[in-house]
Structure 1
Amino acid sequence: MKITGLQTYQVPPRWLFLRVETDEGVVGWGEPVVEGRAETVRAAVDELADYLIGQDPSRIEDHWQVLSKGGFYRGGPVLSSAVAGIDQALWDIKGKVHGVPVHDLLGGPVRDRMRVYSWIAGDEPTAAAEHAAQRVDSGFTAMKMNATGRTRGLESHREIREAAERVGAVREAIGTDNDVAIDFHGRVSPAVARQLLRELEPLHPMFVEEPVVPELSFELARLGEFTTIPIATGERLYSRWDFREVLAGGVAVAQPDLSHAGGISECRRIASLAEMYGVSLAPHCPLGPIALAASLQVDFASPNAVIQETSLGIHYNKGSDVLDYLVDTSVFDYTGGFVERLTGPGLGIEIDEQAVRRASEQAHRWRNPVWRNADGSFAEW
C-alpha cells in the first residue's frame, strides 16, 4: 500500500481536516491545526506531503521520526501540529486495514468508558452558574470554566474576590457530586495566580489549568507547593521534551493536545512519561471530532487517563459543532458523564465527506481575540 494524496479542508468553526488517500482505497483522517493559524499549518502539511507521497502508510513511527526531525529546524506549534494531523490519519489507516480501533494497536483498552467534561461561560465568564446547571442537566458530571477575563500583573481585591465568587456560584449550582476545573489560560501573573489559588482552595476545583504561560513553566513547581489544588498544564507544550521539566516539577495533570503535540504517537509517549511521575492524563481538546476521537484512542489505552475534554457546545463552535461532520453521531453519546469505548476500526468514527467538502467552500479565517487592558496595554487572551 502507498500514500497517493493528502487533501486539507478548512472548515468552520476554526478547524482544519486532513484526508490521506492510498492506492488501495483506504482513507485516513486527521486534524492538523493551530487555532488562528490554520492556513499556516495547511502550508506545512503541503510541504510534508512531498516526502509522504509514495510511502507505505504503515510505517508510522518511521514517518513520525522523519517528519519531526528530518528538517534542520524542528519543533514548535506549526510543525508539531502538521505532524500530529498526519500521524492521526496514518493510525486511522492502520486501524482500518487491520479492522480494529487504534487503542487495540496500542496494547488494548484499559477501560470501557471515559469520563468527559464540557466548557461553560465563555472567554470572559458570565452566567457561569446557569451554564453549569444546564450541563449537569444534559448529563455531564464535570465542566471547565475560565477563572477571569483580561487580567493585569497585579489585581485589585475586588477582581480576585469576584473570580472566587463566580466559581463559588458554580460549586453551589452543581453540588459536591460534580466537578469544576478552572482554566487560568495563562492570563495571570505568578503573583495573581497565588492569590487566586488561595481564594479557590476552599471550593475544591478538580484542577487549575495553565496558571501561568508556558514561558514561566519554572514557576509551576512553586505554585504546586503553595496549594493543594492539582495543577494542570500542557496544551502549549509540543513534545515529550517540553513536558519533561513540568512533569519533574510536580504538576498533577498533563494535558497534551492530540492536534498539537505530535499526534497519537507522541501523546502516547507523553502519557507513559507522565505515568512514570505519577501524573494523570487529561488530553486538551477544544477542537473537532477527529481530534476528539484521536484523544479517546489514547485515553482508552492509557492507565493514567482520568478525564477527556470535549468541545461540544463550546462558545467557539458558532454555526458548526463536533457532530456536524459525522455520519454516525452516536459514537459521542454521553451517558452519566461518560462516553463509551469507540469500537469501530481506526479512529472509530466515520467522517461525512460531503459535509466536509461543502463546509470547506466557505473556509474560515478565525483569529483569536487580541485583548488590551483599560490603559491600552496588551493583555493575555
Structure 2
Amino acid sequence: MKIVSVETFLVPPRWLFCRVATDDGLVGWGEPVVEGRAETVRAAVDELSDLLLGRDPRRVEDLWQVMTKAAFYRGGPVLSSAVAGIDQALWDILGKSLGVPVHQLLGGAVRDEVRVYGWIGGDEPSAVAEAAAAQAEAGLTAVKMNASGRIGRMPNRAEVDEVVSRLAAVREVLGDSRDVAVDFHGRFGVAAARRVIPELAPLHPLFVEEPVLPEYAHRLGDVVSASAVPVACGERLYSRSEFLPVLQAGVAVVQPDLSHAGGISEVRRIASLAETFDALIAPHCPLGPLSLAASLQVAFATPNFLIQEQSIGIHYNAGAEPLDYLADVRPFAFHDGAIRRWDAPGLGVEIDEDAVRKADAVGHRWRPPVWRHPDGSFAEW
C-alpha cells in the first residue's frame, strides 16, 4: 500500500481538513489547522507531502518521526499542527486497513463512553446563567466559560467581583451535581491569577484553565500553590518536552490539542507522561469533526482521561457546525452528557466529501480578534 495523494480543504467556519489517499482505494482524513493561520498550515502540509508520497501509510510511527525530525528546524504550532492532521489521517487508514477502530490499536478501550462539555458565554461572557441552563437542558453535565472578557493584567476589585459573580450565577443554575470549568485564556498576570483563583474556590470549578500565558510556564508553580483549585493548561503546548515543565509545576489537568500537538501519536505519549505525575488529560477541541473524532479515540483508550471539549454550538461556529461535514452524525450523539464508544474502523466517522469540496470552493479567512484596552494598548484575547 502506498500514498498517492495528500489534499487539503479550507472549510468554514475556520478549519482545514486533510485527505490522504492510497493506491488501493483506502482514504484517511485528518484536521491540521492553527486557528487564524489555516493557509499557513495548508502550505506546511503541502511541503510535508514530499515525505509521504510513495510511502506505506501504515508505518505511522516512522512517518511521524520523519515528518517531525527530517529538517534542521523543528516544532512550533504550524509544523506540529500540519503533522497532527496528517497523523490523524494515517491512523485512520491503518484502522481501516485492519478493520478496527483506532482505540483498539492503542491497546483497547478502557471506558464505554466519554464525558463531554460545551461552551457558554463567548469571548465576552454575558448571559452565562441562561446559556448554562440551556446546555443542561440539552443533556450536558458540564460547561466551560471564560473568566472575563478583555481585562488588565492586574484587575481591580470590581473586575474581580464580576469574575466571581459570573461563576456564582452558573453554579446556582447547574447545582452541585454538574460541573463548570473556567478559562482564563492567558488574560491575567501571575499575581492576578494568584489573587482571583482562591476567590473562586468556594464555587468548586472543575478546573481553571490557562491562568497565565504559556511563556510564563516557569511561574505556574506559584499559581498552583496559591489555591486548591485544579489548574489546567496545554492548548498552546505542542510536544512532550513542552508539557514536562508544567507537569513539574503541579498542574492537575493537561489539555493537548489533537490538531496541534502532533496528533494521536504525540498526544498518546503526552497522556502517558501526565499519568506519571498523577495528572489527568482533557483534550482541547474547539474545532471540527475530525479533531473531535481523533480526541475521542484517544479518550476511549486512555486511563487518566477526565473530560472532552467539543465545539457543537460554540460561538466561533458562524455558518457551519462540525456535524455539517459528516455523512452520519450518530457517533456524536450525546447520551446523559457523554458520547458513547463506537467500533467503526479508523477514526470511526464518515466524511461527506461532496460537502467538504463544496465548502473548500468557498473557503474562509478566519482571524482572531485584535483587542485593545481603553488606553489603546494591546489586550490579550
TM range (shorter): over 0.9
- Percent identity over paired residues: 64
Q: CA deviation at 1:198?
A: 1.9
Partner of 1:77: 77
Matches within 5 A, 1:215-226: 215-226=215-226
1:1-381 equivalence runs, <5 A: 1-381=1-381
Q: Deviations over 1:26-71 (max 9, x none)?
A: 0000000000000000000000001110000011101101100110
State the distance in 1 between where 2:193 and 2:246 align: 17
CA shift at 1:100, angstroms?
0.5
Asked if the contact 1:161–1:199 (Cα under 8 Å) also holds between the matched residues in 2, the reply is no
- Aligned residue identity for 1:332: F
The separation in 2 between residues aligned to 1:194 and 1:131, in whole angstroms, is 28
Post-superposition Cα deviations, 1:198-254, rounded to whole Å, max 9, x if no partner, equal: 221111000000000000011111111110100000000000000010111110001
Q: Which deviations, in whole Å up to 9, do the C-alpha atoms of 1:78-117 show, x marking residues without a partner?
A: 0000000000000000000000100000000000001000
Give RMSD over aligned pairs.
0.5
Whether the 8 Å CA contact 2:198–2:229 is kept in 1: the answer is: no
Contact 1:8 1:42 in 2 (8 A): yes
Q: Residue type matched to 2:350 in 1? A: E
Unaligned residue ranges in structure 1 (runs of 5+) = none
Is the Cα contact below 8 Å between 1:19 and 1:27 reproduced in 2? yes
- CA distance in 1 between counterparts of 2:199 and 2:31 reads 38
Classify the secondary structure of the residue corresponding to 1:361: helix
Give structure 1 regions of 4+ aligned residues with deviation exceeding 6 angstroms: none
Whole-Å separation in 2 of the counterparts to 1:199 and 1:242:
29
Shift of residue 16, structure 1, vs aligned partner: 0.1
Q: Measure, in 2, the Cα distance between the counterparts of 1:96 and 1:184.
A: 40
Give CA deviations for 1:330-363 in whole Å, capped at 9, x if unaligned.
1000011110002110001000000101111111
Query: 1:232 touches 1:252 (CA, 8 Å); kept in 2?
Result: yes
Secondary structure of 1:226 counterpart: coil
Shift of 1:278: 0.3
- Matched letter for residue 274 of structure 2: A
CA distance in 2, matches of 1:154, 1:182: 18
The answer (yes or no) to whether the contact 2:233–2:251 under 8 Å persists in 1 is yes
